[in-house]
Amino acid sequence: MRSIGETARDGGLSVSALRFYDRAGVLVPAWVDPVSGYRWYEPEQLEEVRLLARLRRAGMPLADIRLVLAGWAGTDTDLVRGLLEAHLRRLELGLSDARSEFSTLRALLDHRENPMASLHTATTRLSVPAAELTAALDAVRFAAGTDAELPMLGGILFDIEGEGLHVVATDRYRMAVARARATGHGGSRVQTVVPLPLADAMRALLTGEEPVRLTVDVDRVTLETGDRQTAGQSLGHEFPDYRRLVRLPAGHRAHIDTVAFRKALETGPVRASETRKQDDEPQDLSVLRVTENGTVIVCDDGDDDQNNVAVNREFLLHALAAGARDELVLELGAPTAPIAVRRPDDEDSFSILMPVRLEN
């Protein structure tokens, strides 16, 4: 007689597995000590244990394992072969299904890692008024990134959906969004990131009054106007989800005279920001505050009111220029909340600037 430990070791199963198969009535030991409950096996049972281990590794259901062992002990080899072949067919079908599911999962994973590459797989064509695309590119170009370590920000997002084309640029510290009308595209949302050199080449072509034709063919973008065109590869990087980033907390909205406010910034006091890194240069900051009568003023250098909002003066001047209106709307919230510069006649075109923390 062989002990359960010896049988488990030589048969390729664990002691706990042998106990389980005993309780399930699949492989019952030859003798169980009535006092200690210890299980003992006949030497001939070792072959069944090894067979059981193989069937278990093959993932055969317990009910079929019981039948295979019963047929193996007898002379019904046809039953055993039939059970083995039926289980193999189930495994092959399961593997085919698993491959299909894993193929889908890989596609979903690729989309999560780089949604820009999988948002469009067919050619998209649309027509955009030249003047509107010109204004949109001019409104966002200043906010595009130039950091080589963040190549995904070194372009302008073209976000096509329904009857509109949104163009977006950001360098993390500022973001600009503008919209132009688009016709001819009736499909689902399409996004592509146009590299800055290509975006600048597109802008250079926009000199006429006729609508221009924009084509997105997987990772290639083409702009045609008249008999001229420019084309190039889109950036193969994921662009931030700008729709989430533009949901700003409620703040104070103040209408400003753009020329007068620009002059106040250019001639008003500035503060130098604290240097964050060894190679950084201090920024010139303009400190803003909303007065009791609702106007926005540039604060004196010694004004340290806790409600003051500091912003990079150069960035704000660029945003005012990109706004391209005699009157703009300035939104200010808490000192840590982003600042928005909006057009009063076009809520779809705006800039967002991150505030700079004042060091006391």
Q: What CATH number is associated with residue 343?
A: 3.10.150.10
Q: Identify whether residues 60 and 173 lie together within a single domain.
A: no
360 is a domain residue: no
Q: What is the pLDDT of residue 227?
A: 84
- Assign residue 47 the CATH number of its domain: 1.10.1660.10
Q: Identify whether residues 215 and 271 lie together within a single domain.
A: no
Q: Identify whether residues 193 and 230 lie together within a single domain.
A: yes
Q: Identify whether residues 142 and 235 lie together within a single domain.
A: yes
Q: Identify whether residues 236 and 120 lie together within a single domain.
A: yes
359 is a domain residue: no
87 is a domain residue: yes
- Which of 135-138's residues contact partners 24+ apart within 8 Å by CB, and which partners? 135/178, 135/180, 135/324, 135/349, 136/165, 136/167, 136/178, 136/179, 136/180, 136/349, 137/167, 137/178, 137/199, 137/202, 137/203, 137/206, 138/203, 138/322, 138/324
Q: Identify whether residues 122 and 86 lie together within a single domain.
A: no
Which of 207, 240, 273 finishes a domain? 240
Domains identified in the chain, total number: 3
Tell me how far apart the alpha carbons of residues 169 and 179 are, in angstroms, rounded to a whole number: 12
Q: Identify whether residues 120 and 82 lie together within a single domain.
A: no
β-strand pairing of 309-312 with 284-290:
antiparallel
Q: Identify whether residues 292 and 312 lie together within a single domain.
A: yes
358 is a domain residue: no
Which of 191, 220, 240 finishes a domain? 240
Place of tokens 């003051």: 308
Q: Identify whether residues 128 and 228 lie together within a single domain.
A: yes
Q: Identify whether residues 227 and 283 lie together within a single domain.
A: no
338 is a domain residue: yes
Q: Identify whether residues 201 and 265 lie together within a single domain.
A: no
**Residue 197, domain extent:** 116-240
Q: Can you give the pLDDT of all 360 residues of the chain as single tens digits?
A: 899 999 999 999 999 889 988 888 888 999 999 999 999 999 989 999 999 999 999 999 888 888 888 888 776 678 888 889 988 988 888 887 777 677 677 767 766 666 554 444 578 899 999 999 999 999 999 999 988 888 878 899 999 988 899 999 999 889 999 999 999 887 788 889 999 999 999 999 998 888 999 999 878 899 999 888 999 999 877 788 888 877 777 778 899 999 999 999 999 888 877 644 434 566 788 999 888 888 888 987 666 777 888 899 999 999 999 998 999 999 888 788 889 999 998 888 899 998 887 765
| 275, two tokens | 């240097």
Which of 218, 240, 262 finishes a domain? 240
Is 206 within 8 Å of 225 (Cβ atoms)? yes
Q: Which of 122, 118, 121, 128 minimizes the C-alpha distance to 184?
A: 128
Q: Identify whether residues 152 and 199 lie together within a single domain.
A: yes
307 is a domain residue: yes
50 is a domain residue: yes
Is 285 within 8 Å of 270 (Cβ atoms)? yes
